[in-house]
Amino acid sequence: MVGSSLSGRFSQANAVMDVNDLVFAMPGAQVTMNGQVQLVGSTFEFQGKVRTDATASQMTTGWKSLLLTPFDKLMKKNGAGMELPIKVTGTGSTYDLRLDLPHSTAAPPGLTR
């Protein structure tokens, strides 16, 4: 059995649900995000970061691990083995998860914090 937790703050007005301080934690990783869900049209946009206990080179084996070792120091941040900015967008039936580079700390358009 693997334990995980999910928490966040939600508010809704004018057919838009704002999601702030969303935190999903599981052994070895934590995802923090802020975003919006447009209830009419079922679209969503979230920005945040994923933090892992392991470094990039520890998550692979063989020659890939050796190739990633020099980049471990670049991806380490605030005590995490790796911290990467991410963005998730989509509709009720499809989604797009990608690195958010260059990372913007600004809220998605229309999001109030």
pLDDT of 70-108, one tens digit each? 988 888 888 889 998 999 999 988 999 999 987 665 655
Residues in Cβ contact with 95 at an 8 Å cutoff, skipping those fewer than 6 apart: 44, 88, 89
What residues pair up with 82 in beta bridges, in sequence order?
A: 52
Chain segment 41-71, per-residue pLDDT in tens: 899 999 999 999 999 899 999 999 999 999 8
DSSP secondary structure code for residue 52 in this structure: E
Measuring CA to CA, which residue among 84, 81, 90 is closest to residue 103?
84
Residue where the block lists tokens 């206990």: 53
